[in-house]
């Protein structure tokens, strides 16, 4: 390291701003050493047996420029290589300007800042350009990926990402997701998905086995995050020789609302499905050209942990229309009347099922809201007590400095005052961390109960829909039988 250090004496004696300009090079740098160290009485994170990395305070009265070049950096459990760029410490912020680095088998360019004015609620704002990150490695490394894109656990491949975002952090430097806002673009030449529950269910519904473990080509989707809620723009991608369109929303409460559209080649549906179509064609006694693809529309609802998949309509390339042209008017009327009755049965069942789901959601939301109110009260009380501690420390510090009669005594008094304030801040931080932890526990317990209510409602709603489908199928079979006998 080499550079200049200015304004040292005014910084020591008058609390002026300390200025520094350094060229910082390192073969090996452990950033964890800069984080708050474990101390007696520190509250441990729920995710580890040892004290977690916590928010670090950047002094307000320093102005440092570190023109950095580091061969290898360790941050938390992450290994970074070939880091270059400017790191600025100023106004309680750590600012990253033109920072480039290699990690997770790819590279990243980054601009933005970490703001430590409030170490209980630090803030971040970043613009990131990621190239060729390994998806499984990103899932294992970043809790944010686990929270926002849990499907990555069952995904292989590499991805590139442009992502601009801002968020509050908690004391342990994890995002407070309800404050997370941003937008981005996700790209990948090839993604392989394995054992994804949603796709497994969809494959069973459509009888298209390729959906169970698909390989997606040329993925290019845009998304937006508002207060932790994700919206994905409708995006087309290649699935073998077919095309898949995907878009929708994922809520902070893990609720899903995605739409999928795809064309299934008839020849890939399997012998049993094609046999049904061939039998229908045989009954007409004529040669009919049927489109090769069947368009399927599906809806993914439920939650991330318990997704629900349903078909919401399909365009079968003209199969029904062509067949209806070849049968008699009386048969068409029989089937048409049955279709109307079937639609009413299904519509009534969906209405009843939706009512069940909405009532459960309302009850669950009420539980979570009440728990959050209790948690907010705990936080407000912790803030009040913490402010009292800090105010008392400020008063004691002022008294110490006022009583000092000479410059040496004043320097000693200032140092003692700094220690008093630091200890008071530490105690206040601890109160707030404990309050946050209790509030989170209340929220998680309420959310668990709400999810149980929703799961029970899903089961009841599924029974209603299944019962309606059984009635509809019976009615359809009777109509088909009568039409066949005409």
> What is the model's pLDDT at position 150?
85
> What is the model's pLDDT at position 333?
58
| Overall average pLDDT of the 364-370 stretch | 91
Please check the confidence at residue 152 and state whether its pLDDT lies above 60.
Answer: yes
Round to whole Å and give the CA distance between 166 and 162. Answer: 14
Token output for 176:
């407070």
> What is the model's pLDDT at position 400?
85
Please check the confidence at residue 53 and state whether its pLDDT lies above 80.
Answer: no
Round to whole Å and give the CA distance between 375 and 379. Answer: 6
Q: How crowded is the C-beta side of 87, counted as CA atoms within 13 Å?
A: 16
| Overall average pLDDT of the 101-118 stretch | 94
Per-residue pLDDT band at 480 (split at 50, 70, 90)? low
Per-residue pLDDT band at 196 (split at 50, 70, 90)? confident
pLDDT, one tens digit per residue, over 378-394 is 989 998 998 899 899 88
> What is the model's pLDDT at position 322?
40
Q: What percent of the chain has pLDDT over 90?
A: 30
CB 372 within 8 A of CB 438: no
Q: Residue ranges of the domains in the chain?
A: 1-194, 364-484
Q: Which residue in 464, 468, 471, 466 sits closest to 356, CA to CA?
A: 464
Highest mean pLDDT among 99-113, 191-205, 291-305, 403-417: 99-113
CB 150 within 8 A of CB 304: yes
| Overall average pLDDT of the 111-120 stretch | 91
pLDDT, one tens digit per residue, over 8-40 is 888 777 778 889 899 989 999 887 776 544 444
Please check the confidence at residue 320 and state whether its pLDDT lies above 50.
Answer: no
Question: Does the reported pTM lie above 0.95?
Answer: no
At which residue do the structure tokens 């998949």 appear? 309
Per-residue pLDDT band at 224 (split at 50, 70, 90)? very high
More confident residue, 465 or 100: 100
Mean pLDDT value across the chain:
81
E runs forming strands in 91-214: 93-103, 106-115, 123-134, 155-168, 181-193
């Amino acid at each position: 390291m080499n550079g200049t250090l200015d304004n040292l004496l005014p910084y020591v004696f008058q609390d002026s701003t300390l200025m520094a300009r350094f060229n910082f090079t390192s073969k090996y740098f452990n950033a964890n050493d800069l984080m708050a160290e474990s101390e007696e009485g520190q509250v441990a994170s729920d995710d580890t047996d040892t004290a977690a990395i916590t928010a670090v305070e950047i002094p307000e009265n320093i102005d440092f420029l570190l023109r950095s070049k580091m061969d290898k950096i360790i941050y938390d459990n992450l290994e970074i290589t070939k880091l270059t760029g400017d790191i600025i410490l100023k106004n309680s912020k750590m600012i990253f300007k033109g920072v480039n680095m290699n990690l997770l088998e790819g590279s990243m360019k980054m601009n933005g800042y970490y703001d430590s004015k409030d170490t209980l609620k630090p803030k971040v704002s970043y613009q990131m350009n990621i190239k060729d990150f390994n998806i499984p490695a990103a899932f294992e490394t970043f809790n944010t990926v686990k929270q926002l894109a849990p499907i990555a656990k069952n995904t292989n491949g590499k991805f590139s990402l442009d992502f601009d975002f801002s968020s509050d952090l908690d004391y342990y430097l994890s995002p407070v997701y309800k404050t997370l806002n941003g937008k981005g673009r996700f790209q990948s030449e090839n993604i392989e998905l394995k054992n994804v529950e949603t796709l497994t269910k969809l494959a069973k519904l459509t009888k298209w086995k390729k959906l169970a473990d698909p390989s997606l080509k040329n993925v290019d989707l845009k998304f937006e995050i508002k207060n932790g809620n994700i919206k994905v723009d409708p995006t087309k991608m290649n699935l073998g020789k077919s095309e898949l369109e995907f878009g929708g929303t994922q809520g902070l409460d893990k609720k899903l609302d995605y739409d999928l559209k795809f064309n299934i080649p008839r020849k890939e549906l399997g012998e049993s499905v094609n046999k049904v179509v061939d039998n229908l064609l045989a009954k007409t006694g004529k040669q009919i050209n049927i489109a090769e693809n069947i368009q399927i529309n599906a809806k993914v609802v439920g939650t991330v942990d318990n997704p629900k998949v349903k078909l919401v309509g399909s365009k079968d390339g003209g199969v029904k229309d062509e067949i209806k042209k070849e049968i008699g008017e009386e048969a068409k009327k029989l089937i048409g009347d049955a279709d109307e009755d079937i639609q009413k049965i299904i519509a009534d069942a969906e209405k009843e099922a939706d009512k069940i789901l909405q009532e459960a959601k309302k009850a669950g939301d009420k539980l979570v809201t009440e728990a959050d109110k209790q948690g907010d009260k705990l936080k407000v009380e912790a803030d009040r007590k913490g402010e009292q501690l800090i105010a008392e420390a400020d008063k004691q510090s002022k008294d110490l400095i006022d009583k000092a009669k000479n410059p040496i005594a004043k320097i000693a008094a200032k140092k003692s005052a700094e220690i008093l304030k630091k200890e008071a801040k530490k105690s206040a931080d601890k109160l707030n961390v404990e309050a946050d932890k209790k509030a989170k526990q209340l929220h998680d317990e309420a959310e668990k109960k709400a999810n149980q209510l929703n799961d029970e409602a899903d089961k009841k709603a599924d029974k209603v829909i299944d019962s309606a489908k059984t009635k509809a199928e019976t009615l359809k079979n009777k109509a088909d039988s009568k039409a066949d006998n005409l």
